[in-house]
Every structure is written in C-alpha cells, then in structure tokens.
Structure 1
Amino acid sequence: MLWSRGDSGRDVRELQARLRQVAWIFHGPTGTYDEPTVEAVRGFQGKRGLPRTGVTDSTTWQRLVAMTREPGRWELYLMGGQPADAPDARCRTGRVLCVSKSSRTLRWMIDGRTVSTMAVRFGSEYTPTREGVFSVYWKSRHHVSTLYDSPMPYAMFFSGGQAVHFSADFAARGYAGASHGCVNVRDEGAVARLYGQVRNGDKVVVHW
C-alpha cells in the first residue's frame, strides 16, 4: 500500500493531479486523501479490472503513471479547489461579483457580506479574462455566443463579450478546459440563483 484515506502531503497531491488528468477527479488537488479521492481511485481501479479498494497500491499507481504525465506546479498547487481567499478591498462595499483568479472562486457580496461562493474557471493564455473593475451592463438568460456559437446560459456581461455564465463544458471536464475569456461557473443551480439576484450596474472585480 502506498497511500490511503487520511494520508496527506505532496505525493497525495500528485496522485490527485494525475487522477484529474484522466477525469476521475474534478477538484483540488487538496493534498488530503479524502472521500472524493477514495471514490476516484475506486472508479479508476474498477475501469481497469483492478480490485476496487480505494487504496492506492503499487499496481494502481503504476497503471496511473503510465497513462498520465508528470504534473507541474500549476496542476499541483494552482488548479482550484482551494477555499476562497480574502475578498479584495474593492469588493467590500456595495453589490459586487468578486472574482479571484488565485483561488478560482467567485464571491457574490453585498455590503461586505458574502452571500454565496462558487468555483469558476477563466480564459486560456490566448484569450485571457480581463482583470480590473467593471459593471454588469447586460444580462441574457439563454445567450448563445455569436463569435464561438456556444451556449452561454445565465450570461451576465461585464467587459465587451466577457461574461459570467454557466458552462456545461466546465461541469463535464473541470479545469481540463478553459473559456474564451468568460468567467465559467460549473454549478448550474448556483449560477441560476446568482442570475436572479444580480442587477445591471452591479460591480464586477476580477483580481489575483
């Protein structure tokens, strides 16, 4: 046995990062061998005809290593799953969508109080999500991108064609993909509630 429930450390991070590469985990890495990790290992083992123990033994590890690549620092520490960091100072007054690139989270805040928090992802290096202070200028419930011909439900536009919206691709593939610059939300129920609360003119802060 190499690692099992309750273990923690860099080796567990690498295990989780490699499980993400083959789409068995969509959060973290957290560095803690928690219940989602146990379930992911069980799923990976079952798919490959190994005993579904949820414990990472040398056979499971060797099979996973053969199917994946060495994860870099970004995959080990910066891909999301972290709790929301402290809100930017610009988010502490009024009605604000406070978007953190470092923790990959969106906080919906009213007068300094966090109403809800959700996981988000951003544009690729070629179509980056703009940083700064913006305002929601248009909401479109059933929007479809004219540029990319892709659905953007619950779109809340804040900078040119960039919007906060639900992404079915994010829900399915996690951080393996990226947006074309928009702030993608993977939880459709959460973004639907957010869409119902946000008004045109509400502030959007995108920061590191």
Structure 2
Amino acid sequence: MGLQPIGRRVAAACAVVISGTAMTLLLPGAAAADHTDPPCGPAADACINLSENLSWLMSDGDVTFGPVPVSHGKPGYETPPGVFQMSFKNRDHHSSIYDAPMPYSVFFNGDIAFHEGSVDQQSHGCVRLPHDAARTYFYDLEPGDVVEVVP
C-alpha cells in the first residue's frame, strides 16, 4: 500500500480500505497478526527484543508501530543490549567499513543503526528492518530519542 509518512509518530495511524460494502482496517506493521508486548520501559521510543527478533516504536510506554521482524548482529558482531540515544539519521547512508548500502539509517550506538535490509541475514551489529518499517523508523525517530535493546 505504501502510505507516505506525514509527521512524527505517524505510524500510529491506521488505513481503511473500502471495497463495495466491506471495510477493512489495516494496522501498521505486523500489529494485526502479532500482539507480542514489548519488553522495554516507558521511556523507550524504540524497543528491540534480540531474542525474539522483534522491534516496536513507542510513545510514553504505548506501542505506536509494530512489532516488526528484525535481524541483528551475528556472532562476533553482536548488537549490544542497553539504553541508547538516537544520534543522527541518513536517508542514503553507505557503510565505509563494509562498503554496503544502508538505506534509511537511524544511528543509536556509535556505528550501529536501524536500517533497511534483509531480516533473513544477520548483520555486523546493525538492526535490519523490512523496507516499509525502515522508512517508518527513519521518519518517526529523531535525535535524542531513546532506543532500548534487550537480550
């Protein structure tokens, strides 16, 4: 469907599709199919559960988007757990370390970022998101926002 982001926390909005006399409510991300609760505290603006390979966007402890599937650091390049602040974002980032594209990068721990990528492959520490989720995280998160990563 490809809804365009129009503002901060836009992911909380839902889309309605009307077909004939039927109406379908489309929830953001995988929220309609999976009601897993995030394990993060109320201060988190983004939450990552490494053991479940899931992530959410949040506001004041409430889920605004997700859960969405993610992949993260492979052995030797583990994504560290902890509480971090989002530092900057770059729509068309290209890793100079790994010579790899990192679309919709949202950096939160040094060179570790959320970005678009295959959730079927582990990374060098970054948190990979499907395309639509990466766009949502990019447009929703701002420098200073809290990212909590739990094991």
Q: CA deviation at 1:193?
A: 2.0
Cross-structure match for 1:99: 48
Question: Within 2, Cα distance between the matches of 1:84 and 1:103?
Answer: 13
> Within the alignment, does 1:155 sit opposite 2:99 as a pair?
no
Cross-structure match for 2:134: 191
> Within the alignment, does 1:124 sit opposite 2:74 as a pair?
yes
Question: Within 2, Cα distance between the matches of 1:84 and 1:147?
Answer: 37
Q: Give CA-to-partner distance per residue, 1:112-134, whole Å, 9 cap, x none.
A: 11111111001101111111000
Cross-structure match for 1:112: 61
Structure 2 unaligned segments of length 5 or more: list them.
1-32
The residue matched to 1:124 in structure 2 has which SS?
coil
Structure with greater helix percent:
1
Using the size of structure 1 for normalisation, the TM-score is 0.53
Q: CA deviation at 1:155?
A: 0.4
Q: CA deviation at 1:190?
A: 2.1
Using the size of structure 2 for normalisation, the TM-score is 0.72
Q: Following superposition of structure 1 onto structure 2, how do residues 1-208 of structure 1 map, counting pairs within 5 Å?
A: 83=34, 85-90=36-41, 92-93=42-43, 96-117=45-66, 118-167=68-117, 170=118, 174-175=119-120, 177-186=121-130, 188-208=131-151
Structure with greater strand percent:
2
The residue matched to 1:121 in structure 2 has which SS?
coil
Q: CA deviation at 1:85?
A: 3.9
Q: CA deviation at 1:86?
A: 2.7
Matched to 2:125, the amino acid is G
1:85–1:100 CA contact under 8 A, matched in 2: no
Matched to 2:128, the amino acid is N
Question: Within 2, Cα distance between the matches of 1:156 and 1:139?
Answer: 4
1:85–1:103 CA contact under 8 A, matched in 2: no
Q: State how many pairs are aligned.
A: 118
Question: Within 1, Cα distance between the matches of 2:150 and 2:127?
Answer: 12
Displaced runs of 4 or more, over 3 A: 82-85
1:97–1:107 CA contact under 8 A, matched in 2: yes
Q: Give CA-to-partner distance per residue, 1:143-171, whole Å, 9 cap, x none.
A: 0001001000110111111000001xx1x
Question: Within 2, Cα distance between the matches of 1:89 and 1:152?
Answer: 26
2:105–2:116 CA contact under 8 A, matched in 1: yes
